Amino acid sequence: MDRQKLQIRLAAPRGFCAGVDRAIQIVEEALGKWGAPVYVRHEIVHNQHVVSRLESLGAVFVEELDDCPPDRPVVFSAHGVPKAVPAEAERRNLVYVDATCPLVSKVHVEAERHHKAGKEIVLIGHAGHPEVIGTMGQLPDGAISLIETEEDAQAFEPKDSANTAFVTQTTLSVDDTASIVAILQDRFPGIATPHKEDICYATTNRQEAVKAMATGCDLFLVIGAETSSNSKRLVEVALRAGATDSRLVASAADVDWDWFDGVGTLGLTAGASAPEDLVQGLIAACRARFDIEVEHVTTAKETVTFKLPRVLTAEV
């Protein structure tokens, strides 16, 4: 009996970005330097498969510093933390390593610069996301106003419309953010903008790859976690760019194979915190069921790397 033919369009770039690579390596290096257990405040990156592997090596994930004993090191997640967190770690004399992505740290620095210049700051982002909590926590309460939607941008009323600035979460939809920024710039022509776009290169590259290949895809699968902002945006981008259907899955185990009824072309990518073995696992699961052909769609080459914190590389 002939098997259903399935063409898989495989996006590149996909999966781990430099910030995620660095954060995972920081936990691994901390375990190598200090031994287990090493505590990690919040998921180091938003992917349970990554978290589970690090737990097997001796990492212990907690939500607050109160859950960390005084005699063990703690790592802060890639999403960034409010200033109060390292301040509390220092007060308790904890050894800590900050794994905040350097591109998130750049947004923190921008926000502080605008605040020192006396500007009223708008943060475009999603309420409750750890990155947003971390960025807003760089400044005193009330110094940053959060805008999530175009409606929020229309309704925002600054104290001084001629003295405003905006920054953004790094993992947003490029197109959605552009629409919000356009409204703000139309309403407040003098609003200060980031020196360089805050949405990170990896988020942008992954969205551009999806846009380039979504048209003609009967189904588009994005491997990533429900808590991963950049992964959820890829699902939305695929639908807007022409995919008939688009879904987020944590791994091949979460696929409902009924989705493949009538599917001739599958688009496949992975969010910036999803490991490549999950991608290959899904391709293998497809190969076991269908007569597959894999087409690689490459829209950019990524060569970015970030240095590890000095506390891990310095000689004892």
pLDDT in tens, 108-139: 999 999 999 999 999 999 999 999 999 999 99
Stretch 288-298: mean pLDDT: 97
Higher pLDDT, 60 or 197: 60
Distance CA 14, CA 208 (A): 11
Question: What is the C-alpha end-to-end distance of the chain, expressed in Å?
Answer: 65
- pLDDT given at position 195: 78
Domain at 18-101, CATH class = alpha beta
What is the pLDDT averaged over residues 251-270? 98
- Does this chain's domain 5-16+201-298 share its CATH topology with 18-101? no
Mean pLDDT over 58-80 rounds to: 96
Q: Among residues 129, 111, 297, which one has the least CA distance to residue 215? A: 297
Catalytic residue (one of 131, 197, 295, 302): 131
Cis-peptide, bond into residue 158, ω within 30° of zero:
no
Q: Are 287 and 268 in contact (CB under 8 A)?
A: no
Beta carbons within 10 angstroms of residue 120's beta carbon: 21
- As a whole number, mean pLDDT of residues 280-293 equals 98
- pLDDT-derived band at 237, boundaries 50, 70, 90: very high
Q: Is the pLDDT of residue 199 over 90?
A: no
Q: Mean pLDDT across the chain, nearest whole number?
A: 95
Distance of CA 189 to the CA centre of its chain: 30
- Supply the CATH classification number for the domain 103-187: 3.40.1010.20
Percent of the chain predicted with pLDDT > 90: 95
131 is catalytic: yes
In angstroms, rounded to a whole number, what is the distance separating the alpha carbons of residues 261 and 241? 21
pLDDT for 206 equals 97
Q: How confident is the model at residue 1 (pLDDT cuts 50, 70, 90)?
A: low
Q: Where are the domains of the chain?
A: 5-16+201-298, 18-101, 103-187
At residue 314, the pLDDT reads 74
Q: What angle do CA 59, 60, 65 make, to 5 degrees?
A: 125
Ramachandran class of 262: left when φ > 0, alpha when ψ lies in -120 to 50, beta otherwise: left
* % of the chain exceeding 70 in pLDDT: 99
pLDDT tens readout for residues 9-47: 999 999 999 999 999 999 999 999 999 999 999 999 999
Whether the pLDDT of residue 316 is over 70: the answer is: no
Q: Decide if pLDDT at 197 tops 90.
A: no
Going by pLDDT thresholds of 50, 70 and 90, the confidence category of residue 315 is: low
Check: CATH 3.40.1010.20 for 5-16+201-298?
A: yes
Q: Specify the pLDDT at position 59.
A: 98
Sheet arrangement for strand 74-76: 59-62, 38-41, 74-76, 96-98
pLDDT at 224: 97
Res 2: pLDDT: 82
